[in-house]
Amino acid sequence: MNAADFSIAQLKSAYASGDLSPEDALRSIASSIDAKDGDIGGYLSYDLDLALADAAKADLSLPLGGVPIAIKDLINVEGHPCSCASKMLEGTYQSPYDATVVKKLRAAGAIPFGRTNMDEFAMGSSNENSGIKPCRNPHDLDRIPGGSSGGSAAVVAANTAVASLGTDTGGSIRQPASLCGVVGLKPTYGRVSRYGLVAFASSLDQCGPMTKTVADSALLLQTIAGSCDRDSTCLANEVPDYTSVLGEDIAGLKIGLPKEYFAKGLDPAVKEKVEAAIKQLESLGATPVEVSLPNTEHAVATYYIIATAEASANLARFDGVRYGHRAESDDLIGVYEDSREEGLGAEVKRRIILGTYVLSSGYYDAYYLRAQKVRTLIRQDFMNAFEEVDLIASPVSPTPAFKAGEKASDPLSMYLADIYTISANLAGICGISVPCGTVDVEGKALPVGLQLLGKPLGESKLLKVAHAYEVS
Ligand code: GLN
């Protein structure tokens, strides 16, 4: 077996038994990337020499000692490129520092290895917005891996990585995890530091693990969670031992099924898989209870106002002067205009224009302010539901992975693919996607994910239930 085939737990036991060293593991992961990633496009780059230098110092007694983790290309790793899959930053920017999550990974002994492909600046649901190269679904190369953390999901699914980090602003960890058949966890807003992540929508962004197993997810979350004095939105609450709850009984837990999430638009084959997974939870002693999240229908519109507004401000720095590609021009305005025109892709420009519009005087009250009020209602819906139930279960994506090109020319249909994931970001709660089988489409077995959503800081319960399901 190649080291890239292993889960984190398996790799650690191979190290413990002396069967494998971190240097050997890195070399064999690099060889599996070279062999397989040409067709998939999950990686933008990797630097074996830098990683080998880290491996030589690896302390195998640490929780992630010598474990290579692939990193989404918007998370800063000192000395590495950080392009956000944008022509704006490709070849012009190298990280001068480690993001807090990377610092925490290193402190636990892990080795950041490989930069994963994504939609440009994390805007998209299919990876087709990558400004650098396409990324495809390892289960069917004609199909998309999801997005925006499509590369981070594809490399774990293709066994060209042991585990990865992604980010989730409206579903970008959970949706690609679901479409590629891996475990993807979006922590509660504030559970994980955002320092050193290139910001898309600062009130929604969270970083989280993408792994082969729930136990690996718990271990990675354990490592990256916790306070950060460089991110004032990062919570100081103590980090519980997420791995100790795995294996606990789930009998007696109430699982809410939002009626709005099982309604029209949901592919019948996906619905069947998700319902079978819920039956399985029932057989483990959980009780399904119907709940309502009445403001669900407003979630996509609300998200695309708030996320674009924040993006228009966050992306102002990519102007060829402060950061990024700099166009030749005779005058200052020309430098700004041409740098952004040449450096940014169509979807990113669309979002900046939308975001600028909803913040402009005259439209601010009608769009932005109203969206903030609806956001509060959406959060309230969840809080009301969590008065009655411990967790919420639902599909992650209304369909399995779609064909590359299928939605590329219709941004609105792409936005609707996020219908079940976006609300969790607006509400600031936590969520996980766990593989729950495959559906047959045109002769290919395409993965489906079960989404579990939990209260703010309810990650332990999410992981416990996800693990119970996974091993059942
Ligand atoms: N697909 C959503 C979007 O395009 C979510 C992206 C994300 O979570 N980064 O905005």
Gap from CA of 367 to ligand 1 centroid (Å): 19
Q: What is the pLDDT along the chain (472 residues), one digit of tens a residue?
A: 799 999 999 999 999 999 999 999 999 999 999 999 999 999 999 999 999 999 999 999 999 999 999 999 999 999 999 999 999 999 999 999 999 999 999 999 999 999 999 999 999 999 999 999 999 999 999 999 999 999 999 999 999 999 999 999 999 999 999 999 999 999 999 999 999 999 999 999 999 999 999 999 999 999 999 999 999 999 999 999 999 999 999 999 999 999 999 988 899 999 999 999 999 999 999 999 999 999 999 999 999 999 999 999 999 999 999 999 999 999 999 999 999 999 999 999 999 999 999 999 999 999 999 999 999 999 999 999 999 999 999 999 999 999 999 998 888 888 888 999 999 999 999 999 999 999 999 999 999 999 999 999 999 999 999 999 999 9
Residue 20 Cβ inside 6 Å of ligand 1? The answer reads: no
| Residue carrying the six token digits 């966890």 | 185
| Residue carrying the six token digits 């100790």 | 244
Distance, in Å, from the CA atom of 148 to the CA atom of 202, rounded to the nearest integer, reads: 16
For a ligand 1 pocket test, name from 148, 351, 396 the mutation site with the most ligand atoms within 8 angstroms of its C-beta: 148
Gap from CA of 461 to ligand 1 centroid (Å): 25
Q: Tell me the whole-structure pTM to 2 decimals.
A: 0.98
Residue 208 Cβ inside 6 Å of ligand 1? The answer reads: no
What's the CA angle centered on 71, arms 48 and 174, to 5 degrees?
145
Q: How far is CA 312 from the centre of its chain?
A: 21
Are the C-beta atoms of 364 and 377 separated by less than 8 Å?
no
- Residue 220 pLDDT: 98
Q: Which helix (H) or strand (E) is 406 found in, with range? A: none
Distance, in Å, from the CA atom of 207 to the CA atom of 73, rounded to the nearest integer, reads: 12
Gap from CA of 365 to ligand 1 centroid (Å): 24
Using the atom order of ligand 1, give the atom closest to the CA of residue 414.
Answer: 1
Residues 6+ apart with CB under 8 A from 156: 70, 162, 163, 164, 180, 182, 210, 211, 212
Residue 150 Cβ inside 6 Å of ligand 1? The answer reads: no
- Residue 264 pLDDT: 83
Gap from CA of 326 to ligand 1 centroid (Å): 27
Distance, in Å, from the CA atom of 96 to the CA atom of 112, rounded to the nearest integer, reads: 15
- 94: amino acid identity, one letter: Q
Task: Assign residue 131 a region (left: φ > 0; alpha: ψ between -120 and 50; beta: otherwise).
Answer: alpha
| 3-245 CATH pick, 3.30.1330.200, 3.90.1300.10, 3.40.50.2300, 1.10.10.10 | 3.90.1300.10
Q: Provide the edge-to-edge strand list for the sheet that holds 183-186.
A: 43-45, 111-116, 68-72, 164-168, 206-211, 183-186, 430-441, 444-454, 391-395, 254-258, 287-291
Residue 418 Cβ inside 6 Å of ligand 1? The answer reads: yes
Mark whether 148 is an active-site residue.
yes
Tens digit of pLDDT for each residue in 331-346? Answer: 999 999 999 999 999 9
Gap from CA of 15 to ligand 1 centroid (Å): 37
- Residue 411 pLDDT: 86
Is residue 60 classed as helix, strand or coil in its secondary structure?
A: coil
Q: Which two tokens stand for residue 322?
A: 């402060």
Distance, in Å, from the CA atom of 234 to the CA atom of 227, rounded to the nearest integer, reads: 6
Residue 100 Cβ inside 6 Å of ligand 1? The answer reads: no
Q: Spot the catalytic one: 83, 172, 193, 339.
A: 172
Show me where the domains of the chain are located: 3-245
For a ligand 1 pocket test, name from 169, 308, 350 the mutation site with the most ligand atoms within 8 angstroms of its C-beta: 169
Phi, psi of 189 (to 5 degrees): -55, 125
Q: What is the Cα gyration radius of the chain?
A: 21
Are the C-beta atoms of 166 and 152 separated by less than 8 Å?
yes
Mark whether 72 is an active-site residue.
yes
Distance, in Å, from the CA atom of 363 to the CA atom of 371, rounded to the nearest integer, reads: 12
- Residue 417 pLDDT: 85
Using the atom order of ligand 1, give the atom closest to the CA of residue 418.
Answer: 1
Distance, in Å, from the CA atom of 180 to the CA atom of 158, rounded to the nearest integer, reads: 9
Distance, in Å, from the CA atom of 146 to the CA atom of 276, rounded to the nearest integer, reads: 23
What's the CA angle centered on 356, arms 353 and 360, to 5 degrees?
140
- CA dihedral for 393, 126, 152, 118, sign (positive or negative): negative
Q: Spot the catalytic one: 7, 12, 32, 72.
A: 72
- Residue 410 pLDDT: 87
The answer, yes or no, to whether the previous bond of 472 is cis (omega within 30 of 0) is: no
Residue 431 Cβ inside 6 Å of ligand 1? The answer reads: no
- Residue 17 pLDDT: 96
